[in-house]
Structure 1
Amino acid sequence: MDYDVPRQVFTCRITGVIITDNAGNVALYGSEFGAPETGLTITSAPDTVLPEIDQATLSPATIPATEHSTDIRLTVNVSGTTAGVNGFDVYLIDSSGQWIPAASGGASLTFSGALTLSFPLPSDVTPGTCTIALRLSDQARKSSSFGFPNGTPMPGGPVTLTVT
């Protein structure tokens, strides 16, 4: 069955239904086809569960400051989302507390399981140890953050990148 309900629509009245049986016979229902109303309505459930992660790993964990072509892979295990994660922002937080944007964008829709985000080392990162911070967004435009100062920590402790 195909349904096309616009985003941010919380209630949608069904004005037409086409039913085809195994013999190929078609039945039309609803005002869309000049037939009586279907009386059907789709009502979306509210998204009350923010995206969560229960594991985060980084590879490689050490990289030379001059290496900007190697992909750094942050893999998180997504759990507890009803709307599916489809966006992210990754930051490196250096020893002075400066937030350095590393990657941002859309992600393949993930309701649970591993989500790998790849990014190169930003050019303005100096040698030292950086902490990884992550913001995940779901289809309902709700977000959760992990690893930011004074925020929700990464599960299992800080995820760090050493730049040599």
Structure 2
Amino acid sequence: MIDITGDSRVITSNQQGLNEKLDEVVLKHLQHDFKKPYQTHTLQAFKEVEKWVEQQGKPIIFDSCCGVGESTYHIAKAHPEAIVLGMDKSADRLSKHPNDNEEVIQTLDNYRLLQVNLNDFWRLAVEAEWTLSHHYLLYPNPWPKAKHLQRRWHG
């Protein structure tokens, strides 16, 4: 068992190292086209932010699974030369971002928070030929058990 502690709850996993089925799962997915239709809310969010991204003409940074957007704010502050897209599937978590802070709004206009399906958004970004300068996935794996491999991003 692996225990990882920090500011968040304790994450416990019965998996040591790489998952024994990782190669099999990845190879299976590589042999078939992914044909799932885009979710409407994600397609709409992409179209809206795509215009802003093109207008900025700056390097693009993704902050995937950003939760309340605190990490997105700090990444944007650390990278004023870039635009940062903080994305999460939960509208509830994103609504907790302190976006009514006038000082933040006036000093940082290089980030946006988006409620999207990440798989769909990433596919749209690839189709639009976006090149990222950075991509952050900062939060612990919410599916730590070995049997949950296919719930993880890479599975």
TM-score class, shorter-chain normalisation, is under 0.3
Answer with 1 or 2: which has the greater Rg: 1
**Greater helix content:** 2
Q: TM-score, normalised by structure 2?
A: 0.22
For CA contacts below 8 A with separation 6 or more, give which structure has more relative contact order: 2
**Greater strand content:** 1
